[in-house]
A = this chain, B = another copy of it.
Amino acid sequence: MKPRKVTVLGATGSIGESTLDLIGRTPERFEVVALTAGADADKLAELAIRHNARHATIADASKYSRLKDLLDGTDIEVSAGDDAVCQAAQMSSDWIMAAIVGAAGLKPTFSAATQGSCVALANKECLVSAGEVFLDAIKSAGATLLPVDSEHSAAFQAIDPSPASCIETITLTASGGPFREWTAEQLKDARPDQALIHPNWSMGQKITIDSATLMNKGLEIIEAFHLFPVQTDQLKILVHPQSIIHCLIQYCDGSVLSQLGSPDMRAPIAYSLAWPERMSAPVKRLDLAALGKLTFEEPDEKRFPSIRIAREAMNTGGTAPTVLNAANEIAVERFLAGQIGFMTIPKVVEATIEASISEIGIARASTLDEVLETDLAARRLAERFCGAYRIS
């Protein structure tokens, strides 16, 4: 079998590293075309050498010479800057991992889509902020979109070939985050260090805070709406603290199909890497007898209003989800910087969406540039609200 040509956008992040870990276990099956990173030249150089990449690209142009020095004497081609990242995404490849976190991942992931091969999507923003535009890009390029989020990969795996009309509901599970059992009163004083302790998953900071507010699940509901043939009211959230069941597909005959597993991102990454087959992955095997029990509860939208806010943005449509995502990024940044309180995060998001509807408009975007304009305007608005709600 010919090795699969792969590119990893966001190689030095948590998903990128896991992807390369899997690739490195059967290097004969893969040929690494390009690796990109934001600013960590040292780690990028190390990964590029270890995986014998043809290209290494760093978004932060000021790190160019550092990267160039580190890769001196190798055959690895070096480039730098945001445009270079997009060029790396467009290099001929069979499979591209799109794992650049946040709105920064939008342009490179769109570039990857134009390529027409498999796009393993770990960046949430393409679907949340730019859903319709991104799906149009995927479709017109004839690309295949493989979700990498554990819940969406789970749904992708569990949906069977029966007609879409047979699906009654899709339920994404949520761990409930570190504050699942906190009272509303306690939540007001929740600190960043407390929010960063995720009970099950080891992930980046931004997404860990999103897990604590449950905005993560709100964003995933929006993603699922774009990925799967269901309407918004068919998408449900279930709190399941052990994060073993990742998704549940309820069919019209009473059957439920589901994907389960130990909380380890290498499982959905491996699935996307080997799709439509499967490959071995060093993921701890599920042992339900050893676990003893799995528990479930309804999400509490009073303590965690982000779910409701995200659902409303999804129902409002247009660029409301773009605004939601932008405002949330800003609010999370400010919370991590100790400038606003934990419960102020959803407050900023909601206020920004309301203000956007009246001030900048939320009509459906038809290009990525329109999405980016809305994103930028929403960020400015969100900054304003963060200032207003700032902890003095």
Give chain A's interface residues, CB within 8 Å of chain B.
157-158, 160-163, 166, 168, 238-240, 248, 250-262, 264, 266-268, 270-271, 274, 276-286, 288-289, 291-298
Contact = CB atoms under 8 A, between A and B. Distances in A.
A155 to B, nearest CB: 12
A281 B297 contact: no
Contacts of A160: 157
B271 A255 contact: yes
Given A254-B262, A280-B252, A292 B289 contact: no
Q: Could you say which of A238, A250, A251, A253 has the most chain B C-beta atoms within 10 Å of its C-beta? A: A253
Number of copies: 2
Nearest to A166: B278
Given A288-B238, A289-B238, A295-B292, A259 B254 contact: no
Contacts of A289: 238-239, 296-298
Contact of A276 (B157, B161, B276): B161
Contact of A285 (B250, B268, B282): B250
A254 B276 contact: no
Nearest to A287: B296
B297 A292 contact: yes
B248 A260 contact: yes
B286 A256 contact: yes
A280 B253 contact: yes
